[in-house]
Structure 1
Amino acid sequence: MNIGLFGYGRMGKMIEQIALHRGHKIIAKIDAGTPEIDFDSMDVAIDFSTPDAAFKNITDCFKNGIPVISGTTGWLANYDKTVSICNDEKGAFIYASNFSLGVNVFFELNSYLAKVMANLNQYAVSVEEIHHTKKLDAPSGTAITLAEGIMEHSQYQNWQLNKTDEETIGITSKREGSVPGTHTISYESEIDSIKIKHIAHNREGFAMGAVIAAEWIRGKIGVFSMKDVLNLN
């Protein structure tokens, strides 16, 4: 499979290593300032670029018949427009805030726990995420996805950074050293605490999941999620 990489930072380089190990070719490494993009030889694009570049990168691929896997965060104000363009162009698209296979299992556990806790109003829920000091956005896209998973099955109406009340899920963001990513869901009452946690030991899991998603989406049409890739629906 011929892969075009949009964004050649740490994640792009990790994806390249895993893709090559799995027998694929990287036929383009596209960063800011890349003059021309050869879409003709691409089978799939993997986008880990920047919030400012993601929308154009993704939609240009759709217009050239290239399916897209995107893990860029911070651009989702344009997500609905992107989906519309994908459908108009009969493209294929997967966006995930986190492609790690373990994190996507964690998303399912989070949703199940939220259902179980929905009527136990004595517990207040919060989300904590810890990442390396070079991560620019806060909270992480993964933390937002976790909060949305809780909201879907509870009375909480919104999330907010560093604030919790009866209708708001508080998300705490910490930036420490070179931490790849740690996410904790806490339910606290006066009597006890219930917590679930996912700890990433390195970035390889994120990159591996993106490559597996790219392998899965080839030849398909539509907008999908990692639930489809992992058959979790």
Structure 2
Amino acid sequence: MTEKPRESAPEGGGRPLRRDAALNRERILSAAREILGRRGLGVTLDDVARHAGVGVGTVYRRFPSKEALVRALFEQDFEIRRESATKALAHPDPWEGLVDFLTDMTADFAENRALYEVVMLGSHSSEPFEAARGGMLPFLEALIRRAQESGQLRPEVTPSDIPVLQHMLSSATRFTQGERPDIWRRYLEVLLNGLRQRPDNPPLTTPSLGNETVERVMGLAARQEE
């Protein structure tokens, strides 16, 4: 008796995928994560197909556009960021919670160039991505407020400072051209020393960009301006 091909979980709420189709989908996602993480969003579906060792038609059957592939790839990443923020908010030490969150986020951006471009540059603008990026703001505001109320974070620090700091750290990683991919850890330490409240801290005299400017720069406000 011939065994019928196994089926996997439904894709997008449709019929379950055959086992071979599900395996191809996972192979494509794995290859896409690797090549997009290394080269960024300039990668094409043809590039992904070659890296996955499948025909380009197979990629298009599973993901009819690059947006569909990027969305499937990074939905999980956005969820991981929310989980990281929730865990940080539950940390008994508000400063350590903030440090853990910033460290996790910086590590992700250093290891995944496409994720950095999606989150920080708005390079793949679509309503789901904009909603996911914007949805992180309340978590960030809460983390900063907790750390400031505990007296451990400088009172001048605002949520809009964090994306700028992330750009600085990511630039340090890119600067090494792969020779020191972990160099961001050194400069995160430098920045954290500057962020921490101390009795002898001189006040910051230059105002922050503000959320509106940061959102515009990151592309979050592009749809509203159309």
Q: Which has the higher strand share?
A: 1
Larger of the two Rg values belongs to structure: 2
Q: Which has the higher helix share?
A: 2
- What is the TM-score when the length of structure 1 is the normalising length? 0.28
